[in-house]
Amino acid sequence: MKSVGFTPVPERITRLVEIAYNLWWTWHPEAQELFQRIDARLWEDVYHNPVLFLREVRQSSLDQAANDPEFIRAYHNTLTSFDEYQVFGQTWFKQTYPDKLNKPIAYFSAEFGLHESLPIYSGGLGVLSGDHTKEASDLGLPFIGVGFLYPQGYFKQVITPNGDQEAIYVKVRFAEVPARPAYTADGKEVVVSVSLPARGDLPDRQVQAKVYQIQVGNVPLYLMDTDIHPNAPEDRELSARLYGGDEEMRLAQEKVLGVGGVRALRAMGIEPAVFHMNEGHSAFLVLERARELVAQGMTFAQAAEIVRKTSVFTTHTPVPAGHDAFPFHMMDRYFPHWHESLKLSREDFLNLARQDHGWGPTFSMTVLALKMSGRHNGVSKLHGEVSRKMWSWLWPNKSVEDVPITYVTNGIHTETWLAPELKALYDQYLDKDWVLRIDDQAMWNGVNQIPDEVLWEVMNQLRARLVNFVRLRTRQRLTRLRMHPNDIQATVDLLNPKALTIGFARRFATYKRATLLFHDTERLKRIVYGGGTRPVQFVFAGKAHPRDEPGKNFIREVYHRSHEAGLAGHLIFIEDYDMNVAREMVAGVDVWQNTPRRPLEASGTSGQKAGLNGSPNFSILDGWWAEGFNGKNGWAIGSDAEYESEEARNHADATSLYEILENEIVPAFYDRDAKGVPHKWIKLVKESIRTVAPQFSMTRMIKEYTNNLYVPSME
């Protein structure tokens, strides 16, 4: 495999190019180490992007690696694993459903969070899609992803000296990401077109989307981009950014995602047996599929029945305003004549997704997806309940409990999120084939075999690594801001690598209540000071949506608190939360804190990443933690009581938070034996790993989706 613009790779190590172009490397640390060994500094400078790395690396570094026997040994070992993986051994799916291998599952998502070097995700939804894709590959599902390759992706966050969030969009050059054009069976690049209505100076027109392929293990992702000739400049911007633009832009994007996505699969001759809509953004795909079937001679009712039987829909949002819905007059413009193609009246067409609000009827993507899919689910047990209540009006003849919305609780892709230092311990103390049995609860009892002092040593290393990471990031920020050299120098002893470290990283939406911690600042100051001998420190990170002013105010408050006397040095905000920051944080902190307003956290997954890495959760019993907490593997903040007001609830939850910190968390962490090992603490850590790792793994999750949703839809 050769690529233009690469430094010529010596023959002996030429397959590095193949590794760079398969995101398999993102969950195999040994593959990442190959690039790191060649030039560790460059690996950091290109932000762990192997394609960019191979464009920038010096010829002499490659030559040196090619002549280093140790490098060659590591290279061959990695390629052996890579080849074994690709050859599709006895995967779970192949063993369980040998007759279903030719029934592709097409998974549509507006974002895919695969790695920090591919910024086409904004947060939890995208990371979930990325993890879903990786696990589908690991388990051998006949799986295909469909989405967008956003040239400007999601924004990079910088914080000004005043604590304001600024959003910076960096244009990604596709030659620098592991994307290649997708091809039709007869060797042509895949370009699909979707009609869009006149707007401003633009006439009615066809917008073209070029399709790229990104390989994730054995799973192909097909990602569309409209930044091509001959689209008008406005249309070239259509897929530029994730969740950018106004309502028109959003409707246009969603039409391209759903309708264009189906056309892209058709152009490549792919006939999915199941279509999975991950959130409502892609729901227009059901209209395109029904249109195809009606064009073949069916009535709408017949077409709809087939579409329903073969469609799965996952809803993620317990907040009504979080569901996309468009006014009817916009639908008339964006889908003119569609009711005729579907052999429906205009009213019946619009009623497919009608949701009435005080201000009038809208076409709701969630309603469309719920009505036109046969199987639908929420993303945790509690979120399933909330969703049944929220959408029960669609099933007027059923009681709320009988509303047909089930749940599959989210999970995480273990190998993506597990720190390599801990993986080495698990390799040593768990069963040899543990990676193939991640959802086997009994297997994880092996964690209890790890000697306390050995596990503690790794916890200390990981915390120290996080502290170094925070220092480096802070130094880079202050340098960028041209701060005084003394301030920059002072970052060398920012935070304390031995102090109890609590992580809080998430989207700064107000319901997540990032500032609950500051409810009683004086009490918090006493806690972080810890009498001088039992200090506590907090690491914060997270982005607010650029148009979410209250969310940005929360960031400002956290930022200002981090400079307040009594908190400074104990509280730090790291810029630009992304998968890299997340990985460092979930591995390095001792405790993972989350304070959503119940039941607004549909699931959450960051706490699952922390739990897997030996950081017990300290959270409101919401989302996944309502299922995960067992009384011994972390702490529950607050209660599920009803409160008269939001203030009363915040007060009760904050009081609970301080009490648990003072009476349970701090004492357990600092209760040491003669050698400094906190046995009580390590017991909690082990219990967290043992219970969270199997139950909240993507392995468990994908098996549930397959057994309960995908396979029944194939039959």
Ligand X SMILES: *Cc1c(COP(=O)(O)O)cnc(C)c1O
Interface residues with ligand X (CB under 6 A)? 123-124, 127, 506, 577-579, 582, 604-607, 609
- Residue 122 beta carbon to ligand X: minimum distance, rounded to whole angstroms: 8
Distinct helix (H) and strand (E) counts, the chain: 32, 21
* CA atoms within a 13 Å half-sphere pointing along the CA-CB vector of 128: 26
Give strand pairing partners of 205. 196
User: 261 or 607, CB closer to ligand X?
Assistant: 607
- Residue 420 beta carbon to ligand X: minimum distance, rounded to whole angstroms: 17
Specify burial of residue 536 (Cβ count, 10 A radius: 0-12, 13-18, 19+).
buried
Specify burial of residue 647 (Cβ count, 10 A radius: 0-12, 13-18, 19+).
exposed
- Residue 121 beta carbon to ligand X: minimum distance, rounded to whole angstroms: 7
Residue that is written with structure tokens 């569609």 in the block: 338
The rounded distance, in Å, linking the Cα atoms of 445 and 101 is 34
The rounded distance, in Å, linking the Cα atoms of 270 and 535 is 58
The rounded distance, in Å, linking the Cα atoms of 429 and 449 is 6
- Residue 560 beta carbon to ligand X: minimum distance, rounded to whole angstroms: 23
User: 137 or 605, CB closer to ligand X?
Assistant: 605
The rounded distance, in Å, linking the Cα atoms of 313 and 401 is 19
Look at the chain and count its residues.
Answer: 715
User: 140 or 542, CB closer to ligand X?
Assistant: 542
- Written as one letter, the residue type at 684 is L
- Residue 596 beta carbon to ligand X: minimum distance, rounded to whole angstroms: 9
The rounded distance, in Å, linking the Cα atoms of 194 and 602 is 33
Distance from the first to the final alpha carbon of the chain: 40
User: 53 or 504, CB closer to ligand X?
Assistant: 504
Two tokens, residue 556: 């400002």
- Residue 447 beta carbon to ligand X: minimum distance, rounded to whole angstroms: 22
Give strand pairing partners of 158. 166
- Residue 16 beta carbon to ligand X: minimum distance, rounded to whole angstroms: 27
Two tokens, residue 152: 């400007």
* Local structure of residue 313 (DSSP, 8 states): E
User: 135 or 452, CB closer to ligand X?
Assistant: 135
User: 364 or 414, CB closer to ligand X?
Assistant: 414
Specify burial of residue 156 (Cβ count, 10 A radius: 0-12, 13-18, 19+).
middle
- Residue 299 beta carbon to ligand X: minimum distance, rounded to whole angstroms: 43
- Residue 546 beta carbon to ligand X: minimum distance, rounded to whole angstroms: 16
- Residue 518 beta carbon to ligand X: minimum distance, rounded to whole angstroms: 19
User: 238 or 702, CB closer to ligand X?
Assistant: 702
User: 406 or 580, CB closer to ligand X?
Assistant: 580
Give strand pairing partners of 275. 106, 311
User: 260 or 596, CB closer to ligand X?
Assistant: 596
- Residue 397 beta carbon to ligand X: minimum distance, rounded to whole angstroms: 35
The rounded distance, in Å, linking the Cα atoms of 607 and 617 is 6
- Residue 384 beta carbon to ligand X: minimum distance, rounded to whole angstroms: 17
User: 123 or 614, CB closer to ligand X?
Assistant: 123
User: 124 or 197, CB closer to ligand X?
Assistant: 124
Angle between helices 59-66 and 69-86 (to 10 degrees): 90
- Rg value, the chain, Cα: 26
What is the residue-wise DSSP string for 559-614?
HHHTTSTTTBTTEEEESS--HHHHHHHHHH-SEEEE---TT--S---HHHHHHHTT
